[in-house]
């Protein structure tokens, strides 16, 4: 049995927490490969090491030298090492990092040092070998992960090792330069290691006891989700449920490796299991979880007889493609088509240019723009073949006095996306949560 364990920033925040991590690893012999984030916040108002390093990069760009922010990084790591009573020569390691940061002058390289240093400390604490992600995680020409090469190199590096600590968050590009994933990317690194060693389980240790059915900032004390399928996870994390990086399922999915979300500070809690979709067992809830995001723009296009005009959608999509704009959803009717786009992509006059070009491309009767739209995703395998789910959903939203601006339901019946005005976002989420989770009738839909 092999378990790969990834520990997030809060779990690595200080010596006491790192000791906790060491205890968790010691409690199970199967926990052989460990992936770590950089130390995160120790308390509200504290600064994550990664953020200090981004500041360091700005300092280097402006002055050529690491400044005060890097000094804080050094103090944090030296503090941790002395707290843990390790004999690691941290000062030399930090001096080397400083020199390299000043030489490389690269933002990604600078940010990556948080995970590098944290993995060095963790390896020393556990007495495990350290494996630098730079040597095994490789990005391809297009900037995306080169999965095949990465899995092979990681497997080779870990073969024959009983235990190891691998640094999270970064790898190396084709030119031999360090490149990071997007923020929170150590989750992806953990999934890569799990895939490479053929782990039985990818344990992702964080500071919450698993996935919650809803954002706790909106609904007080929402239910914990005991089991999620990969597909449900993808839908929920894409739509803002951010326990796990949304790209972390790709490496493990193809190998059917389950992910278990666990809480470093409450290891006895069950957490959430994320399982291959085929292994998902219906737990009784029609809806597994609710997530959402604010600030979308809808571009609505209407033209009579649109349905018989061959190439209509192609021409409109061509406009978006030329401007490098991706869209989230495309609900359509016989003579209408809408594009839901993240408003951030349409700033600085882009929206105006796009609508003009759509007019030129397809000569529509109407092009209208609605902004300040929020999307709410109601996700769950239990919705499929469950009669009356949408009726309950829309009834609940209507009872809350919220107007639905857009609806999109995938034919897999895994999710229903509802668009509402930003100002109604929280109200709508509360209403949906109450309908599917807190009402007496909440549990079971009628299965057709
Ligand atoms: N340390 C990085 C961040 O703060 C990556 C990670 O923790 O996964 O985003």
- Per-residue pLDDT tens digits for 396-418: 999 999 999 988 887 667 889 99
pLDDT at 448: 42
**Once rounded to an integer, what is the mean pLDDT over residues 122-141?**
97
> Tens of pLDDT along 329-362?
898 888 999 999 999 999 999 999 999 999 999 9
Percentage of residues in the chain having pLDDT higher than 90: 80
CA of 91 to the centre of ligand 1 (A): 23
Distance CA 227, CA 250 (A): 18
pLDDT at 446: 46
112 lines ligand 1 (CB under 6 A): no
Distance CA 250, CA 252 (A): 6
Q: Which two tokens stand for residue 18?
A: 């790192």
DSSP, collapsed to helix, strand or coil, labels residue 45 as coil
Q: Which ligand 1 atom minimizes the distance to the CA of 40?
A: 4
Query: Which has the higher per-residue pLDDT, 428 or 284?
Result: 428
pLDDT at 440: 58
Whole-prediction pTM: 0.83
Confidence of residue 277 (pLDDT cuts 50, 70, 90): confident
Confidence of residue 288 (pLDDT cuts 50, 70, 90): very high
Percentage of residues in the chain having pLDDT higher than 70: 97
Other CB atoms within 10 Å distance of the CB of residue 120: 21
Query: Which has the higher per-residue pLDDT, 248 or 295?
Result: 295
CA of 273 to the centre of ligand 1 (A): 22
**Once rounded to an integer, what is the mean pLDDT over residues 422-444?**
85
Q: Which ligand 1 atom minimizes the distance to the CA of 186?
A: 8
Burial class of residue 75 in the structure, from the number of CB atoms within 10 Å of its CB (0-12 exposed, 13-18 middle, 19+ buried): exposed
Given a cut of 90, whether residue 117 has pLDDT beyond it is yes
Given a cut of 70, whether residue 56 has pLDDT beyond it is yes
CA of 168 to the centre of ligand 1 (A): 8
Q: Which two tokens stand for residue 9?
A: 């920033």
DSSP, collapsed to helix, strand or coil, labels residue 211 as coil
245 lines ligand 1 (CB under 6 A): no
Question: Which residue has its alpha carbon closest to ligand 1 atom 8?
Answer: 184
Q: Which of 311, 225, 304 minimizes the C-alpha distance to 261?
A: 225
Average pLDDT score over the chain: 93
Q: Beta strands of 303-365 (E only): which ranges? A: 336-342
9 lines ligand 1 (CB under 6 A): yes
Distance CA 304, CA 108 (A): 50
105: left (phi over 0), alpha (psi -120 to 50) or beta: left
pLDDT at 447: 44
114 lines ligand 1 (CB under 6 A): yes
Confidence of residue 283 (pLDDT cuts 50, 70, 90): low
Given a cut of 90, whether residue 82 has pLDDT beyond it is yes
15 lines ligand 1 (CB under 6 A): no
> Tens of pLDDT along 196-249?
999 999 999 999 888 999 998 999 999 999 999 988 988 888 887 777 887 888
Given a cut of 60, whether residue 9 has pLDDT beyond it is yes
Distance CA 300, CA 355 (A): 10
Confidence of residue 371 (pLDDT cuts 50, 70, 90): very high
258 lines ligand 1 (CB under 6 A): no
Distance CA 58, CA 416 (A): 43
204 lines ligand 1 (CB under 6 A): no
pLDDT at 54: 98
Q: Are 362 and 316 in contact (CB under 8 A)?
A: yes
CA of 204 to the centre of ligand 1 (A): 13
CA 326 and chain centroid, separation = 18
Confidence of residue 441 (pLDDT cuts 50, 70, 90): low
């Amino acid at each position: 049995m092999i378990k790969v364990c990834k520990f997030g920033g809060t779990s690595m925040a200080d010596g006491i927490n790192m000791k906790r991590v060491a205890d968790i690893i010691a409690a199970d012999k199967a926990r052989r490969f460990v992936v770590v984030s950089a130390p995160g916040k120790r308390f509200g108002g504290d600064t994550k090491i990664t953020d200090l390093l981004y500041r360091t990069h700005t300092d280097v760009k402006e002055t050529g030298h690491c400044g005060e922010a890097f000094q804080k990084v050094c103090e944090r790591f030296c503090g941790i090492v002395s707290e843990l009573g390790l004999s690691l020569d941290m000062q030399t390691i930090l001096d080397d990092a400083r020199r390299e940061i000043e030489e490389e002058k690269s933002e990604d390289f600078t940010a990556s040092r948080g995970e590098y240093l944290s993995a060095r400390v963790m390896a020393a604490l556990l007495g495990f070998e350290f494996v630098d992600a730079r040597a095994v995680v490789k990005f391809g020409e297009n900037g995306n992960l080169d999965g095949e090469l990465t899995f092979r190199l990681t497997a080779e590096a870990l073969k024959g090792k009983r235990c190891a600590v691998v640094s999270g968050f970064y790898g190396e590009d084709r030119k031999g330069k360090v490149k990071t994933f997007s923020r929170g990317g150590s989750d992806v690194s953990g999934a890569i290691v799990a895939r490479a060693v053929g782990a039985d389980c990818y344990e992702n240790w964080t500071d919450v006891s698993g996935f919650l059915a809803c954002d706790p900032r909106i609904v007080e004390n929402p239910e914990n989700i005991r089991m999620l399928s990969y597909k449900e996870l993808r839908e929920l994390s894409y739509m803002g449920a951010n326990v796990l990086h949304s790209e972390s399922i790709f490496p493990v999915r193809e190998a059917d490796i389950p992910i278990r979300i666990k809480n470093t500070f409450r290891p006895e809690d069950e957490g959430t299991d994320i399982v291959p979709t085929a292994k998902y067992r219906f737990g009784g809830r029609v809806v597994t979880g609710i997530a959402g995001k604010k600030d979308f723009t809808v571009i609505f296009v209407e033209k009579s007889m649109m349905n018989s005009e061959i190439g209509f959608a192609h021409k409109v999509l061509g406009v978006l493609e030329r401007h490098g704009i991706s869209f989230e959803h495309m609900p359509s009717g016989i003579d209408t088509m809408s594009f839901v786009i993240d408003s951030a992509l349409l700033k600085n006059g882009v929206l105006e240019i796009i609508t003009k070009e759509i007019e030129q491309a397809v000569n529509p009767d109407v092009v209208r723009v609605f902004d300040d739209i929020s999307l709410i995703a109601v996700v769950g395998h239990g919705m499929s073949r469950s009669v009356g789910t949408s009726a309950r959903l829309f009834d609940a939203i209507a009872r809350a006095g919220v107007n639905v601006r857009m609806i999109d339901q995938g034919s897999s019946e895994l999710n229903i996306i509802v668009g509402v005005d930003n100002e109604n976002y929280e109200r709508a989420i509360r209403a949906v949560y109450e309908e599917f989770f807190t009402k007496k009738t909440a549990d079971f839909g009628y299965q057709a």
